[in-house]
């Protein structure tokens, strides 16, 4: 899959283009260089953010955005306008980043088992008392929460980190995530659940109430 097909989440993104976007599309289709420059400047920032999240490396992210934008401009004739241009480009940059990841084998995959929920021999969960967990507002009130969460996501084994990013951060639905990863929806759900479970384990230092001494 090259990411230039019809985007899946059309109901959320469909709609007519405004005049400026239509003019940009016309310019791109006609091969006008100023239109391409505007295209790069206007749409590149969010694409770069996505590439950074997936690739975790500035140089690779820049290469990814360059490849994605040049590829998209070359395929602009195939853009049917059934989604927003930004949605189409989002999918292209994700596909480009995933291709880069497959090529470079970012890091050896580690076992996720040590981070899985604790169940006893009867299948009963061994968990902290509910009151030991802070409410979401209390968790968010702590300092450096976002940085801690981003660091924890970065620690997940690669195949779990990617599925969590695509579903929870990039907001592709399960079907779209399965298409992007060339796997089944069932596999996505299983992997996503394990990724979230592992992330919960990694985040316990900020999720759990600490005794004030």
Partner 1 sequence: MIEKIKRLAKGAMLKSMPGHITCDEFEEFIAEYFEGELSAVQRRTFDMHLKVCEDCRAYLKAYRNTIALGRSAFTSGDAPVPEDMPADLVAAILAARKA
Q: Which of 83, 94, 100 is nearest to 50 (CA)?
A: 94
Does 59 participate in binding partner 1 (rule CB under 8 A)?
no
Q: Which is nearer to partner 1, 146 or 211 (CB)?
A: 146
For residue 94, what are the contacts with CB-CB under 8 A and spacing of at least 6?
Answer: 3, 50, 54, 166, 170, 172, 180
- The CB density around residue 149, as the number of other CB atoms within 10 Å, is 15
Closest approach of partner 1 to the CB of residue 196, in Å: 6
By CB neighbour count within 10 A (0-12 exposed, 13-18 middle, 19+ buried), where does 123 fall? exposed
Per CB under 8 A, 30 contacts partner 1: no
Pick the binder of partner 1 from 32, 75, 84, 189 (CB under 8 A).
189
Which member of 13, 32, 40, 106 binds partner 1 (CB under 8 A)?
40
120 in contact with partner 1 (CB under 8 A): yes
Residues 125-164, one symbol each (x = binds partner 1 by CB under 8 A, - = not), give xxxxxx-xxxxx--xx----xxx-xx--x----------x
51 and 97 in contact (C-beta within 8 Å)?
A: yes
Q: Which is nearer to partner 1, 125 or 211 (CB)?
A: 125
Residue written as token pair 């659940």? 193
For residue 110, what are its two tokens?
């580690």
Of the residues 30, 122, 212, 213, which one makes contact with partner 1 according to CB under 8 A: 122
The verdict on 200 binding partner 1 (CB under 8 A) reads: yes
Instruction: Report yes or no: 111 and 157 within 8 Å, Cβ to Cβ.
Output: yes
105: left (phi over 0), alpha (psi -120 to 50) or beta: left
- Token pair in block for residue 133: 């967990």
Q: Is 135 exposed, middle or buried (0-12, 13-18, 19+ CB in 10 A)?
A: exposed
54 binds partner 1 (CB under 8 A): no
Binding to partner 1 by residue 178, rule CB under 8 A?
Answer: no
Q: Which of residues 24, 28, 35, 48 is near partner 1 by CB under 8 A?
A: 48
Interface with partner 1 (CB under 8 A) = 33, 36-37, 40-41, 44-46, 48-49, 52-53, 62, 65-66, 69-70, 73, 117, 119-130, 132-136, 139-140, 145-147, 149-150, 153, 164, 168-169, 174, 189-190, 192-193, 196-197, 199-200, 203-204, 207
């Amino acid at each position: 899959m090259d990411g230039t097909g019809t985007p899946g989440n059309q109901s959320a993104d469909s709609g007519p283009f405004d005049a400026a976007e239509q003019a940009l599309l016309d310019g791109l289709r006609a091969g006008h260089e100023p239109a391409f420059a505007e295209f790069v400047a206007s749409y590149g920032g969010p694409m770069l953010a996505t590439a950074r999240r997936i690739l975790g490396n500035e140089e690779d992210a820049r290469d990814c955005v360059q490849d994605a934008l040049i590829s998209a401009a070359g395929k602009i004739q195939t853009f049917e306008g059934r989604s927003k241009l930004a949605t189409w480009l989002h999918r292209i940059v994700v596909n480009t980043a995933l291709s880069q990841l497959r090529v470079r084998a970012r890091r050896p995959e580690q076992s996720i088992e040590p981070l899985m929920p604790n169940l006893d021999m009867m299948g009963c969960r061994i968990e902290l008392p509910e009151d030991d967990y802070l409410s979401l507002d209390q968790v968010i009130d702590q300092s450096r929460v976002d940085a801690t969460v981003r660091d924890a996501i970065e620690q997940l084994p690669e195949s779990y980190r990617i599925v969590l990013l695509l579903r929870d951060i990039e907001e592709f639905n399960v079907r779209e995530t399965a298409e992007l990863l060339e796997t089944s929806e069932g596999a996505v759900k299983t992997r996503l659940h394990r990724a979230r479970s592992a992330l919960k384990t990694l985040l316990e230092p900020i999720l759990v109430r600490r005794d004030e001494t």
